[in-house]
Structure 1
Amino acid sequence: TTCTWTPFGSPIPLLTLNRDHTLCPAPGGPLSPWSAPPHCPAPSNAALGGELPTDCVFTHASFRGGEGLSLITTPELAASVAGFLDDAAVPSWLRDHPSRAAEPRRRPYVVKDLPGRGKGVVARQGFRKHEAVMVGFPVLFARLDFVNSAHFGESQIRRMFQRAVNQLSAEKKTEILALSRSTGGADLIRDVMKTNGFAIDIGGVQHMTLFTEGSRVNHACRPNTFWRYSNRHMAMEVVALRDIQPGEEITHACK
């Protein structure tokens, strides 16, 4: 699933395959679907020994109408999701859900400050049981073993997270950095991920995943929604557990 030439320090996913599945792009050729060359630094603590991780930063800037997506994962796992990046493959009921409206005032909920709870999501309209309240697409994946890796030093992990976010649009970067943080320290993006991220498998490997709008949904002991994720469409739905009334806060169970 990877090409063997390594201009970035690690194999990159196959971009175009011939019938024998052996064709790789020429060095310096098109990088589709990635909008920037994969960044694959050698682990700074390689002297620790053992199997070295091969995580790289991959970005697809045009993902889901230009919202963008960055992944910090292995080339093999990045290759496994490349076929799901095409917006045309997303069904209209996900792509055109009212929560996807460009203007926030047209969405069926409002994100607002709530006393004692920080930001939260409040319904503008009623929702029936099992109706989708919100549809969101990920902006950032990070392989969990990378996040906790001893082979990559703290400063190296921080720089890779920064690169992943900096390769997204300025608007999306602002949204990410505006999310809640809880662990403190200088690594703001990893703090955001640990505070707001969801665990999602890619190829059977667990990744921390960030959804900017969905991260505004607060936890509750008696939630009124649940989350449903589609690997095929790379879409997260927030679905009503029961009927929800206008003016009611949207909540979900603790992760």
Structure 2
Amino acid sequence: MRALFDNNAADAAGWLPKVDARAKLALSVVAAIGSLVVSNIQGQLLLCGFSMCYALSLRKPKALLWAYAFFTLMCGMAMGCMWIMGQFMPSLNKAGFAGLVVPFLRMLTMLHVVLPMALSTRVQDLLNALRGMRLPFCIYLPAAVVVRFIPTFLADVQQVTESLRLRGYRLSPWGITRHPVQSMRLLFTPLLFRSLRTSEDLGIAAELKGLGYGKTMTPYKTCHWALRDTLLLIAACAALAAALALQMHLGGTSLGGMR
């Protein structure tokens, strides 16, 4: 039942685990707004660079590399689907370089923001922050569960790959590409069943915590807003303002445009 009771998400090194969960949520909102509003490559590169510095402060390069590998795989699959669709609908091939890069930069910016929050925030702190926003139970509980699922899924990937190495299988990108059926049987099928078990554990753990019964819960540790939280939000707003200035100076599409 490690899903919601495990507090090792806050054991990361550096200053990031000390940041208030409300500041991390606010930073995610600022990043989401910037990803939607900024529509040119220069502004998105600025937001992506700022968010990457934020992600590197977590000091967990291995987890970040795993996230990059998964992101690259998803982008490759998306590009392949776009190419196949372009063979039947040639109008899709007229998007240009910017039209292809900007959506992926938007996703990469959100990856840099959500991953550190998931790996450096205690679940109880996240629940308290979401509950403090007066959000409905049907919103803040799934949001906390989704964030908590990320480090749990990374741990499941590590366990499955280690078990395959003990059995003599060596996983590599080239091997997965050459033997997709074998890779699905050895890697993706165990991950699917472990994810189903994790989701069940998350629901049971949330019920054992008393969530959803309409009673006030006493937090184990009270979080306080500090100067570093204010400085983090100021830096995020400054990066967003700089990206908007680049868009106004260099031009771009309308707000939220996918180019």
TM-score (norm 1): 0.28
Bigger RCO (CA 8 Å, 6+ sep): 2
| Bigger fraction of residues in strand | 1
| Structure with the greater alpha carbon radius of gyration | 2
| Bigger fraction of residues in helix | 2
